[in-house]
Amino acid sequence: MDIDTLELTQQLIARRSVTPEDAGCLDFLTGLLEPLGFKCERMSVNGVDNLWARRGTAAPLVCFAGHTDVVPTGPLGEWQSDPFTPTIRDGVLYGRGAADMKTSLAAFVAASAEFVRAHPAHAGSIALLFTSDEEGPAVDGTVRVVEALAQRGERIDYCIVGEPTSVKRTGDMIKNGRRGSLSGLLTVKGVQGHVAYPHLARNPVHEVAAAIAELAGTEWDRGNEYFPPTTWQISNFNAGTGAGNVIPGTATIRFNFRFSTASTVESLQTRVVGILDRHGVPYDLQWSYDGRPYLTAKGDLVDVVARAIKTVTGIDTELSTTGGTSDGRFIADICPQVVECGPANATIHKINEGIPLADLEPLPKIYREILVNLLLK
C-alpha cells in the first residue's frame, strides 16, 4: 500500500482537531494502519482520544510518537487562506498543524508502510503512539498510554517523537532531551492601607523586592554537556487595587524554572524557600511540577537518527535540548532512548503556519532509514 506523505498531511490538516479534539484523525489513521498488520488499541480518557498501534511482539520495539491536536488558529482574518483548508502557495504547504505536527504523523505512517511492504517479516516491532492531548493540559494523553503500557510490562526500546525540531532545513537539529518545568505561585502577605500612612500598612511589594532580586540573580546550576544552565523567570506579578493611593494587601507572583539534569525539583524548591525565609518574606507558596527533564546521551538511537539524516539529506545534524516541554518527558519513563526529530519550527503556533515542500519530502525517508538501521542491522 503506497501512502503519499503530502496527500496524507493535507487530509489530516483538513480535520479541525483543535486540542483536545481529535476530529476523526485517529479513526482515519487506524484505517491505514490495520491493513499493514498493526494491532490498533484506542485508549480514551476523559474525552481525550489516544491510539496505541503495534506491529509485532518481539524486541526491540521502535515507537513513533506524536499528536493529532493543534493549537487554536487565532484571528482567521489574518490567515491568507483557511487554516483547515490545506493550501500550497509558492512551494509551501499552509494550514494549522502543517509543521506541528501533522506532517510528522503522515511521514510516520508513510515510512512504516514502505518499510513493512519491503520487509514484511522484519525483526522486532514497530509502534505508533498518537494522542489528541499534547497542546492542551497533557494530562489524559500520552501520559495515560504510558501508564497503561507500564502496568502490563510493555517496554519501548527506542522512541522517535515527531516534534518540529529543525531550524532552517529538515534534519539540521534534533532534540536528545528536554529541560524540566517547575512553576510556583507565590502569594506575599501584606497589610492594605493608605499611601499617606505607610506606618499603618505593610507593602507586600516592598517585602518581596529584595528576595526577587536575589532569585533573579542566582546561578542555579551551570548546566552540563547537553543542557544550558537552569533559568528562573517571573511570568506574572500582580498587586494593588488599581487606585493610586492604596498600598496593596497582597502580591501574587507566578514564576517558572526551566531546569536541566544538573538540578532536581527538590534542590530548586529548597533554595527558593531558603531565599524567601532569609529575607523574612511573609508568604504562601504553591508548586506545580510540569515535567521532569529527560536526556538520551550519545549512543544507539542518537547515532542512528543522525546517520539517517546524513544519508537522506547530507546534513550533519546538531544535538539540542532547548525549547519547551514535549511528550518525550512521559515516554522516557518507559523508554531508555528518546529522540525528537521533525521539520522546521519557524512557523509553529503562528498565523499562516506552513512547511516548505522541500522540507516535507525527506521526512518519511529519514524515518524509514531509522527503521532500517534499528530493525535490519
> Number of C-alpha atoms within 13 angstroms, CB side, residue 215?
28
**Grid coordinates standing for 113?**
508502510
Q: Answer for the pair 35, 60: CB distance below 8 angstroms, yes or no.
A: no
Work out whether the CA dihedral 157, 290, 47, 165 comes out positive or negative: negative
**189 three-class SS:** strand
Asked if residues 296 and 176 have their Cβ atoms less than 8 Å apart, the reply is yes
Residue of 163, 134, 4, 166 whose CA lies nearest to 69: 134
Give catalytic status of residue 219 as yes or no: no
User: Following CA atoms 97, 70, 185, 273 in sequence, which dihedral angle do they give, to the nearest 10 degrees?
Assistant: -50
* Known catalytic membership, residue 69: yes
Taking the C-alpha atoms of residue 128 and residue 106, their distance in angstroms, rounded to an integer, is 11
Residue type, 4: D
Q: How far apart are CA 319 and CA 26, in angstroms?
A: 31
Work out the burial of residue 28: count CB atoms within 10 Å of its CB; fewer than 13 is exposed, 13-18 middle, 19 or more buried: middle
The single residue of 49, 100, 133, 134 carrying the catalytic annotation is: 134
Catalytic residue (one of 49, 69, 133, 369): 69
Three-class DSSP category at 253: strand
Place of cell 503530502: 6
Strand segments, DSSP code E, in 300-372 are 318-320, 338-340, 354-356
* 160 bridge partner residues: 64, 339
The radius of gyration computed from the CA coordinates of the chain, to the nearest angstrom, equals: 24
DSSP 98: I
Q: Residue 284 in contact with residue 166, Cβ under 8 Å?
A: no
Q: End-to-end CA distance of the chain, in Å?
A: 24
Whether the CA torsion 78, 357, 25, 128 is positive or negative: it is negative
For the annotated catalytic residues, the residue numbers are 69, 134
